[in-house]
């Protein structure tokens, strides 16, 4: 068995993680943006490692994210207690209906629209990152960019601390492989009306490098 697989969306995030963890047992790979491509690429990496007789022992989805500012500040670090497919479902006159309530489970192994982080892996990360904000991380296919959509997410997921675009896909790939999963994010911008000039991507990548030693 090999070590930990850490997947990010883009190369800049992978570089930030590698800058903070010099450990040959940790593999860091950028797998693309969005839950579909991230999930498919992660599943392929896991399958290839297993076929080679060197399966990974756990999977972490890592990178930058938008944060719900009533829970976490820009530049902060988040550990996900669960990865939730927040926009997987159907619209209705009464509001959004999650996929779980439509009688159409989106994945095997009973994952539904929520994959809970592995308790032992999460506890280990929390012990190394005691100041990190802990809570659910939403996975979206469209980044939230208006006050109305932000408020709708807050109503449906009041405990959510951040939103990103890959965690749920990666979590499902890990679940299908029977591996522990966790999500680590650093905050580059508030969730809300889109203002790219206000994003603090450099600071979030620096925070990701600072958090990366927890992955050893």
* The model's pTM: 0.90
* Count, residues in the chain: 216
Domain range list for the chain: 4-215
Determine the pLDDT at residue 168: 95
Contact 184, 211 (CB under 8 A): yes
Contact 207, 131 (CB under 8 A): no
Specify the DSSP element, H or E, that contains 213. Answer: none
Contact 44, 77 (CB under 8 A): no
The tens place of each residue's pLDDT in the chain, 216 residues long, gives 479 999 999 999 999 999 999 889 999 999 999 999 999 999 999 999 999 999 999 999 999 999 998 899 999 999 999 999 988 766 777 777 676 766 665 554 446 788 999 999 999 999 999 999 999 999 999 888 889 889 888 988 899 999 999 999 999 999 999 999 999 999 999 998 878 777 898 999 999 999 999 998
Distances 39 to 12, 76, 94, 109, 172 between C-alpha atoms, Å: 19, 25, 31, 15, 7
Q: How far apart are CA 28 and CA 45, in angstroms?
A: 11
The secondary structure of residue 194, as a DSSP letter, is -
Q: How far apart are CA 202 and CA 172, in angstroms?
A: 29
CA end-to-end span of the chain: 15
* Tokens 């080679």 -> residue: 52
From the list 178, 103, 106, 101, the residue with the least C-alpha distance to 139 is 106
> Under CATH, which architecture does the 4-215 domain have?
3-Layer(aba) Sandwich (3.40)
For 5-18, b where at least 16 C-beta lie within 10 A, e where not — what string?
bbbbbeeebbebbb
Determine the pLDDT at residue 90: 66
CB atoms inside a 10 Å sphere around CB 62: 27
Residues 6+ apart with CB under 8 A from 87: 96, 140, 141, 142
Determine the pLDDT at residue 196: 78
Determine the pLDDT at residue 87: 81
Q: How far apart are CA 204 and CA 209, in angstroms?
A: 9
| Parallel/antiparallel/unpaired status of strands 133-139 and 162-164 | parallel
Determine the pLDDT at residue 153: 87
């Amino acid at each position: 068995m090999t070590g930990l697989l850490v997947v990010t969306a883009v190369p800049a995030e992978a570089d930030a993680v590698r800058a903070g963890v010099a450990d040959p047992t940790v593999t860091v790979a950028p797998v693309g943006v969005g839950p579909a491509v991230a999930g498919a690429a992660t599943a392929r990496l896991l399958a290839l490692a297993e076929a080679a007789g060197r399966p990974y022992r756990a999977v972490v989805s890592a990178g930058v994210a938008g944060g719900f500012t009533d829970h976490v500040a820009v530049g902060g670090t988040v550990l996900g207690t669960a990865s939730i497919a927040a926009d997987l479902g159907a619209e209705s006159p009464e509001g959004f209906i999650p996929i779980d309530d439509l009688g159409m489970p989106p994945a095997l192994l009973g994952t539904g629209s929520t994959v809970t982080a592995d308790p032992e892996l999460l506890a280990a990360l929390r012990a190394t990152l005691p100041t990190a904000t802990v809570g659910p991380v939403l996975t979206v296919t469209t980044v939230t960019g208006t006050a109305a959509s932000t408020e709708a997410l807050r109503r449906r997921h009041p405990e959510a601390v951040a939103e990103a675009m890959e965690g749920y896909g990666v979590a499902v790939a890990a679940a299908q492989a029977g591996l522990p999963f966790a999500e680590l994010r650093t905050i580059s911008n508030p969730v809300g009306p889109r203002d790219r000039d206000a994003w603090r991507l450099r600071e979030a990548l620096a925070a990701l490098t600072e958090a990366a030693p927890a992955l050893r």
